[in-house]
Structure 1
């Protein structure tokens, strides 16, 4: 049986506990054994190297050096990593090794909650199969610093309405990548837990977690 660890906490504005509950239900339904933790100290536990998947839901906050080192080594060794929005890509701002692993870091969301469009760039990928070529979305439109080695599955284009100097910038929304032997999946959608009610968002995230997870 595949095993997963969900670690949630940090800034409450991203509904970490509610999101962790959704993830836990999905993973149970998909055949994982699941445990949860609310302290980053779990990342220093040697047992995480035996997991199939780690799901961080931990916006901002801090991570100790030994915790970050053990986490990144676990993923390099084959443990999958998957998550969404600031719970994964705005976690542990001072931990550059963590950001290197994730493949991106949030830096802005001009206009805050706005209407924008998500464009699927790799509809042939199994994670994106059946997802509309483009779909409307209402949330924070994340402006990211991203790794050019990411395999981008969906993007969004900034209108310039809220920051005219970024008009026309195409920004990754969904990507997957490798970090050592581990698979990493990230989606920038999902400012609040209610967004998991969007079927496109939920389908992409659930498939991404299953893709990232190490098989038995």
Structure 2
């Protein structure tokens, strides 16, 4: 049986506890054993190297050197890492080793909650199959600092309405990558738990976390 660890906490504005409950339900339905924790020290446990998947939901906050180093080694050795929005790509802002794993770091969301469009760039990828080529979305439109080595599955284009200098910028929304032997998946969609009700967002995310998980651990 595949095994997953969900670690939630940090800034409450991203509904970490509610999102953790949704992930937990999905993972149980998909045949995982699931452990849920709120203390970042769990990442220092050598046992995390035996997991199939880790899902962080921990916006901002700080992580100590020991748990961070062990987490990075676990991913590099083959444990999957997956998650959404600021719970993964705006976590541990001063931890560059973590950002190197994720492949992107949030820096802004001009206009806050706005209407924008998500464009699928790789419809042939199993994570994106059947998702509309473009679909409307209402949330924070994340402006990211990105690692160019990631494989981008969907993007959004900034209108410049809320920050004129961003007009026409095409920004990744969904991506996947390898970090050593570990698979990493991220979607910037999902500011609050209610967004999991969006079928495109939920389908992409659920497929993505399953893609990232190590097949056997």
Q: TM-score range by the shorter chain?
A: over 0.9
**CA distance in 2: counterparts of 1:107 and 1:56, whole angstroms:** 19
Per-residue CA deviations over 1:145-202 (Å, capped at 9, x if unaligned) read: 0100000000000000000001000000000000000000000000000000000000
Give the CA deviation at 1:139. Answer: 0.1
Per-residue CA deviations over 1:41-74 (Å, capped at 9, x if unaligned) read: 0000000000000000000000000111000000
Per-residue CA deviations over 1:57-106 (Å, capped at 9, x if unaligned) read: 00000000011100000000000000000000000001000000000000
Give the CA deviation at 1:141. Answer: 0.1
Match of 1:58 in 2: 58
**CA distance in 2: counterparts of 1:10 and 1:39, whole angstroms:** 10
Match of 2:192 in 1: 192
Give the CA deviation at 1:26. Answer: 0.1
Aligned pairs (5 A) from 1:11-50? 11-50=11-50
**CA distance in 2: counterparts of 1:70 and 1:107, whole angstroms:** 26
Spell out structure 1 runs of 4+ moving beyond 4 A: none
- Alpha-carbon RMSD: 0.3
Secondary structure at 2:215 match in 1 = coil
Aligned pairs, number: 216
**CA distance in 2: counterparts of 1:165 and 1:204, whole angstroms:** 30
Q: Where does structure 1 lack aligned partners over 5 or more consecutive residues?
A: none
